Structure 1
């Protein structure tokens, strides 16, 4: 597995190329009379509140004309860690992301990666930290401060916020129910786009059950689509992780 693919799995399952329709009830319509602050208040009210989140499902990785399916088990503790286990019949990949770093290994080639966010930002060409990754997974704006200052516009089916911050372009698209439908981050020649195709209500809260993340860059594009089959909110979870001995490090330049 290429190091770029391993890193993308860690980023967005830390989760296409085409636009996906926002999920909305038939009666929901965009209210163009609302001011930006009112829309943002509604969005904040709708956002997922959680301590832990766990889901099982299937991830599809598309890179350089190749398509690979893998079963994934993802666990998340708010502000603490994101744990991912990927398998095809047998376990193949395990990733653990903390506020300090990303670690992961794959069993076929017996390789591992260990990288902090400063080096990860340099490699990918876009700003990235733990908060951004957690927000990507839980369908929240990747930059809360930038979102508050973003300019609101409307389409027939969505509320759209745009802002440019320190050379980075951010776009947040919300459906008529104030749920995040897409967010896009562009820095120079690199773009990350994440689409949230459908939601499921659990314990009175909307949880994204399908998301598609695409990394566009000089080397082409890599897309990871995550479809969840089973989701648990605020249940007790464990996140066991240790780097195996005698594995070869993947040097990230």
Structure 2
């Protein structure tokens, strides 16, 4: 059980203004778009907030029973992601991520983690996640580097699709990975789906976004589903129930007599 609680902590430490588009006839999904300047400009917009508090319900499927968790996720833009989890009104874990790495502990087995982002990458079967991409993943922004020349953009009735024209290559700590990447967006440029297929293994990461909501000067997805397949397999669903922009305290310290652990 302890590795699953720490896995959730790692993933939801780890949990733009709305733009209207002109109504146009559906275009075949196999037809590239001639002018894509507006599209790439919109999807690369940075989220405009100082801090964001998210109340979320977390459901996990791993093959073992884990109760629904109530999570408070607090993000200071570009600085930290803090998370506290409750199960049946009891505190079960807390974690924090900064650009330097991630830390978290869980109370059921009295264990904790302290790691750079290698921990989270191993958990998700990838090797490119850093603090910026983690924050983007939780808030529905592109967490995969998007270079226009590496993708083919098409339009259909549901919105836009981006598909890598060649494998994207990531190198991190001596490990090289290649991914075929596809992304789907709504007609309002909201990210709906990201899929990464590791071309050297059976590993696959898919993230689904839904039920986007306008909040102050940006939009945020109320549903985030993370699907991990391959050498590790699990699903994590974040159902975001409330957003708040007020500041809050984010205490973090590992209680005495806890044991450091790692996911292998």
**Which TM-score band (shorter chain)?**
0.7 to 0.9
User: Which structure has the larger Rg?
Assistant: 2
Contact kept? 1:191, 1:217, Cα under 8 Å? yes
Question: Structure 1, unaligned stretches of length 5 or more?
Answer: 16-23
**What TM-score do you get using the length of structure 2 for normalisation?**
0.81
Q: CA deviation at 1:216?
A: 1.2
Q: List structure 1 runs of 4+ shifted beyond 4 angstroms.
A: 27-34
Do residues 181 (structure 1) and 184 (structure 2) align? Answer: no
State the match for 1:20 in structure 2: none
- Deviation string for 1:199-219 (max 9, x for gaps)? 111124212111111111224
Do residues 50 (structure 1) and 53 (structure 2) align? Answer: no
Q: State which of 212, 215, 240 in structure 2 corresponds to 1:228.
A: 240
State the match for 2:152 in structure 1: 151
SS of structure 2 residue aligned to 1:236? coil
Q: CA deviation at 1:49?
A: 1.6
Contact kept? 1:13, 1:226, Cα under 8 Å? no
**What TM-score do you get using the length of structure 1 for normalisation?**
0.84
Contact kept? 2:125, 2:231, Cα under 8 Å? no
For the structure 1 residues 44 and 126, does the alpha-carbon distance in structure 2 shift closer, same or farther, using more than 3 Å as the test? closer
Question: Structure 2, unaligned stretches of length 5 or more?
Answer: 28-32, 170-177
What is the aligned-residue RMSD (CA, Å)? 2.6
State the match for 1:21 in structure 2: none
State the match for 1:215 in structure 2: 228
Give the paired residue count: 241
Structure with more contact order per residue of length (Cα contacts < 8 Å, sep ≥ 6): 1
Q: CA deviation at 1:159?
A: 0.5
State the match for 1:69 in structure 2: 68
What is the distance in 2 between the residues matched to 1:113 and 1:173?
34
Q: CA deviation at 1:12?
A: 3.8
Contact kept? 1:196, 1:210, Cα under 8 Å? yes
